[in-house]
Chain A
């Protein structure tokens, strides 16, 4: 007997204004108040605060002017991480195939209907279960692919459930603004809008040849996606445009040991993320913000892309030496890796190969120890200068304002 083909289902789960929502769950007195989490700028903004014109990335000084009653909390990254893990465990009750990020996740639901019912029932159950266990709102999007599921959720935010029936993908996706199409970033969005392409449906009027002329192989991907077809989304998602790690200091500092130690630690974390994702980066950007205001940044490229910490840190430090010119304490330091691609091959300089092999083996060993015993099991190199200055937990040093990968 021929089996019916299994329909594909993906669920996208998004934690609405996550940090601010956790703070409200921790303290019910905050429920109806405008709450933001951040230090310097808003990292997370609840919907009550958004109604006053506040948004993520806004300086706190401006937030206070727009909304004098706003409750500003510095927040606790370890708490947010633990709560996110709790929710991810709930997702794994319905499917073993869960891909998690900082505050969202994709759940593969294909083939689960027989056990748990229709995908829309699973989404509804999950929202109620998360609310019961944590008090947190969740937006769920369900569709035949990751892209459609994500857009389905986007249309249902906040605290909603979006569902796109099979066959409706093209019509549904077409309604969204062009910048919502995965693969259309700032630059491509500007180009397309100048061509008066404002919605995803508008893009369907462009012939394939025109898109490939403009965007080369990426043009074909956009051609298919604007028609609701999922294309290599997993690989796209796994190659971020950049990986950033930055943090402000608990107390502004001009101590070079502390600054270099923080830069070492942040670049080490960023390099580890590259290795975890099977990527390498070519360009390093170092940024500083001074305690008295103002910031400096500079980017430089390596000769050969790498996922190894030493060359990335060396470049970051060289840049820091060039840009940190004022005799003034720093409020923040950060590193951004870009020019990212899938890792392939090693450098061709045979004389340097032995050194590169040793470095690679050392990093592999460090990764393995940290995977087993927690990141803080090993504190290496200039990060040692952070001991005693920063608290540690299993995930590493507890930073004042850890940033998110873009």
Chain B
């Protein structure tokens, strides 16, 4: 198992029901990746910015980590976990 860094800004369709944000689908390199499950969600801070992190399993079976930056509501794809 290895982690492959991505660190790209991406477009995401998300659900903002109640106080919870849930990514549903993201676009990368022209391909749509549908989120099947949010495995874990957590929050962290960088100075005054709050970052909302998600580990998600997508249709292809891959697992990605992404985060939402509260400062400008941008989404970022951090890395993908791959079998070595």
Report which A residues bind B (CB closer than 8 A). 22, 25-30, 71, 73, 78-79, 82-83, 86, 134-135, 373-374, 393-394
Contact = CB atoms under 8 A, between A and B. Distances in A.
Contact of B45 (A29, A73, A394): A394
12 contacts: A25-B39, A25-B40, A26-B55, A26-B65, A27-B55, A28-B57, A29-B63, A73-B1, A79-B42, A135-B39, A393-B44, A394-B46
Interface residues of B, number: 18
Contacts of B37: 28
A31 B5 CA distance: 22
Contacts of B40: 22, 25-26, 83, 134-135
Contacts of A373: 47
A82 B42 contact: yes
A26 B46 contact: no
A193 to B, nearest CB: 42
Interface string B26-57: 00000000000101101111110000010101
Contact of B53 (A28, A29, A82, A135): A82
Contacts of B61: 29
Contact of A28 (B3, B39, B42): B39
A22 B47 CA distance: 25
Contacts of A374: 45, 47
Interface in B2-27: 3
B30 to A, nearest CB: 26
Given A25-B40, A394-B44, 6 more contacts: A26-B55, A27-B63, A28-B63, A86-B42, A374-B45, A394-B46
A60 to B, nearest CB: 14
Contacts of B47: 373-374, 394
A79 B37 CA distance: 19
Interface string B60-77: 010101000000000000
A86 B53 CA distance: 12
B44 A78 contact: yes
Contacts of A71: 1
Nearest to A27: B63
A370 to B, nearest CB: 13
Given A73-B1, A374-B47, A27 B42 contact: no
Nearest to A26: B55
Contacts of A78: 44
Contacts of B65: 26
Contacts of B81: 26-27, 29
A30 B57 contact: no
Contacts of B1: 27, 30, 71, 73
Contacts of A25: 39-40, 55
Nearest to B84: A71
